[in-house]
Amino acid sequence: MTGYGETVPSLRAEADVWTWITTTDHKRIGILYMVSAFVFFLGGIVEALLMRTQLAVARNTLLGPDAYNQIFTMHGTTMIFLFLMPMQAGLANYVLPLMIGARDMAFPRLNAFGYWLFLFAGLFMYSSFLIGAAPNAGWFAYAPLTEVQFSPGLNIDFWALAILLLGISSTAGAINFIVTTIGLRTRGMSFNLMPLFVWATLVTSLIIVFAMPSLTTGVVLLLVDRRLGGTFFTPGDGGDPLLWQHLFWAFGHPEVYILILPAMGVISEVLPVFARKPIFGYSFIAWSSVAIGFLGFTVWAHHMFAVGLPIIVQALFAASSMIVAVPTGVKIFNWIATLWGGQISLKTSMLFAIGFIGQFVIGGITGVFLAVVPFDWQATDSYFVVAHFHYVLFGGALFGLFAGLYYWLPKFTGRLLDERLGILHFFLILIGFNLTFFPMHLLGLMGMPRRIYTYAPGLGWDNLSLVSAVGGFTIALSVSVFIWNFFSSLRHGQAAGDDPWDAWTLEWATTSPPPPHNFSTVPIVRSRRPLWDLKHPENPDWRTAQPARDASVESKEERVDAGPRRGY
């Protein structure tokens, strides 16, 4: 109907390699990010399958200890730095400028630079497999194990150097998102009217800018130790291995929110559209992201309860960790209230969004368990922890990403994905995921440590480990269903049209895929659902009470005219 777009350029017609290499278009960069991240995702899956196969039976000999160390280190590093973060960067890259009615990101070339740096850093890290020296000290690379006297090979150097570049890449991307959100919102779109995905991306980017330097600092000091003979993390001469843990987790815990907040942003877009209701408690969802982002910086030492910090310090960090559950709970209740009484349409995207809520709650609750110091002493470094963070990062972040992909892929490709295959994908991954990770709670409580490459029979771990392996292959099967669905949709998919979900945010106001300049006319925003206003001129949101305190239409219109000057 009354879209802002005009022509429908085909991706295929512009498949000239050089234009992709030199592109500064946020949509193309977004696609590059997502495709590359997905390829790394497949690598991470292969590594996971190797681990699950190795542990499926006791005393398996598929992988030796050294190979196993490399595999689990690369699995964690890949999924966090080379899949989840760049995948979300890709999604936000494509969607965020459209959602705020902008022509592009604020710094298009910096955007391209961030992508290429991520790609090459990832390839550099993976090139370590070629010389059999992949990183092997776990994704949090604890000193002094990573010091040169214990890890003399190049393994850790590959990890540390690649992490440096990835830090630059994600900081560049984050600054770009912040500036774009601050400066390029279309006319009338105050912060209070931004889509919640934009809020989530903004807060995520702020966390990246504030947290990433801690990791960079740790890695720099580690490299000084390894390459120049420093002693930062070696006891004696005044060095301290705990310094690494502080620096790492001062980054590492905010990183958890870097991974989960974008997924929460996706959920906050998907739920209202498929429940046919405006989001419930917009301000609470937006500001709880800010609260989570802030609190995320105050909880890092709960990763270090077993290292002998003073009791009072542990108590404080336990308390702050539990407080994080409050803004998280606020979000959960608002999402449920959004669903309440809605006309729910169970499209694949919606299924993933609902799956997100259920599984994320499980991960959140075990997170509160682990914040309790005595319980943490019991469960730390066991499979219970592995189960916990996979419920958050897989059941949470990944499900949120798939919800976003099923929601926005039609915008990117112009084709709808097949719903039946989508539902098959959803149920396979739901079953596979729970088969893989639920038993890990039990294994952990039965004393199975994480990161062991094999175990003796008769410890009671065999059956559950086998179940976990079966679950792992079910996940792999479900992902191949998704890949099949994606490629077949490109050929045979039903045309999506501008607005297949009858949605309310600006990205659906232009064509699918959008023209290079996104919008032919600069959209004007007067409410949180600008596209609803456009479709229902007789009953626009801004005429009714949203936001509630703007009583009169006149004052609303005044506000728009005096609103933030924005454009291109």
Partner 1 sequence: MTQVLGEDIESIAPEVQGSHWPIVLAIALTLVLVGLTTVLVISLAGLALALVALVAWVAQRFQGPSLVDHAPASVLNGASQGAGEAVFEAPLEVFTIQSSRWGLVWFIASEAIFFANLIAAYLYLRVSSQTWPPAGGPHLDLLFPSVNTAILLLSGIPAYYAHRAIKRGDIRGLRIGLVLAALLGAVFLVGQGYEYLTAGFTIRTNVFTAAFFTLTGFHGAHVAAGIGILLTVFLLSLRGRFSAQRNFAVEVASTYWHFVDIVWIVLFTILYLAQ
* Residues within window 120-149 making contact with partner 1, judged by CB under 8 A: 120-121, 123-124
Of 47, 104, 418, 550, catalytic: 104
449 binds partner 1 (CB under 8 A): no
Contact flag: residue 104 with partner 1 (CB under 8 A) = yes
Select 507 or 533, whichever has its Cβ closest to partner 1.
533
* Residue (161 or 431) nearer to partner 1, CB: 161
Q: Scan residues 491-550 and list those touching partner 1 (CB under 8 A).
A: 516-517, 519-522, 524
Sign of CA dihedral 61, 66, 67, 73: positive
Least distance CB 269 / partner 1 (angstroms): 24
Of 16, 237, 538, 554, the residue at the interface with partner 1 (CB under 8 A) is: 237
Report whether 530 contacts 451 (CB < 8 A): no
**Which residue's CB is nearer to partner 1, number 128 or number 436?**
128
390 in active site: no
Told to judge if 277 belongs to the known catalytic residues of this protein, a careful annotator would answer no
Half-sphere exposure of 178 (CA within 13 A, CB side): 14
In sequence order, the 6+-apart residues with CB closer than 8 A to the CB of 365 are: none
One-character DSSP codes across 455-490: --TTSS-HHHHHHHHHHHHHHHHHHHHHHHHHHHHH
294 near partner 1 (CB under 8 A): no
Residue 210 belongs to what H/E stretch?
helix 196-228
Residue 536 annotated among the catalytic residues of the structure = no
Least Å from the CB of residue 228 to partner 1? 5
Cα distance between residue 99 and residue 184, in whole Å: 11
Q: Cis omega (within 30 of 0) on the bond before 135?
A: no
Figure out which of the listed residues 46, 57, 62, 187 binds partner 1, where binding follows CB under 8 A.
187
Give Cα 140 distance to the centre of its chain.
Answer: 18
Contact 401, 88 (CB under 8 A): yes
Catalytic choice (53, 126, 142, 450): 450
Restricted to residues 35-74, the positions that interact with partner 1 (CB under 8 A) are none
Residue with tokens 């039946």: 420
Q: Which of 239, 254, 410, 422 touches partner 1 by CB under 8 A?
A: 239
CA distance 559 to 184: 18
Which position among 56, 184, 202, 222 is part of the footprint of partner 1 (CB under 8 A)? 184
Concerning whether 170 is annotated as a catalytic residue, the answer is yes
Catalytic residue among 303, 411, 441, 529: 303
**Whole-number Å distance between alpha carbons of 75 and 51:** 9
Interface positions, 243-272, toward partner 1 (CB under 8 A): 243, 246-247, 250
Cα four-point dihedral sign 192, 194, 199, 200:
positive
Say whether 255 is catalytic: yes
Catalytic residue of the set 23, 128, 146, 169: 169
Tell me whether the omega of the peptide bond preceding residue 513 falls within 30 degrees of 0, making it cis. yes
- Size (the chain), residues: 568
Residues in contact with partner 1, total (CB under 8 A)? 75
x/- string (CB under 8 A) for partner 1, residues 189-228?
Answer: --------------------xx-xxx-xx--xx--xx-xx
26 counts as catalytic: no
Name the catalytic one among 26, 27, 331, 411.
331
Distances (CA, A) of 403 to 115, 190, 374, 406: 23, 27, 37, 5
466-to-21, 61, 408, 469, 484 alpha-carbon distances in Å: 45, 15, 36, 5, 27
Compute the least distance from the CB of residue 50 to partner 1, in Å: 24
Instruction: Tell me the window of 139-147, 242-250, 327-335, 469-477 that interacts with partner 1 (CB under 8 A).
Output: 242-250
| CB contact at 8 A, 361 and 279 | no
Rank residues 27 and 246 by Cβ distance to partner 1 and give the closer one: 246
**246 versus 441: smaller Cβ distance to partner 1:** 246
Would you state the structure tokens that stand for residue 537, as one six-digit string? 């001129």
CA distance 222 to 162: 13
Contact with partner 1 (CB under 8 A) among 358, 374, 457, 567:
567
Question: Helix 348-371 crosses helix 383-392 at what angle (to 10 degrees)?
Answer: 140
The amino acid that residue 543 corresponds to is: R
The single residue among 50, 84, 117, 531 that binds partner 1, judged by CB under 8 A, is: 117
Q: How many helices (H) and strands (E) does the chain have?
A: 19, 0
* Position among 50, 87, 112, 273 found at the interface with partner 1 (CB under 8 A): 112
Contact with partner 1 (CB under 8 A) among 33, 139, 140, 158: 158
Applying CB under 8 A, does 482 fall inside the site for partner 1? no
Give the whole-angstrom CA distance, residue 436 versus residue 127.
29
Q: Does 109 bind partner 1 (CB under 8 A)?
A: yes
**Which of residues 34, 84, 139, 157 is near partner 1 by CB under 8 A?**
157
Q: CB 565 → partner 1: shortest distance, Å?
A: 4
Q: CB-wise, 19 or 345, nearer to partner 1?
A: 19
Decide if 441 is catalytic: no
Q: Judged by CB, which is closer to partner 1: 247, or 273? A: 247
- Alpha carbon distance 219, 237 (integer Å): 20
List the catalytic residues: 75, 104, 139, 169-170, 253, 255, 257, 268, 302-303, 328, 331, 450
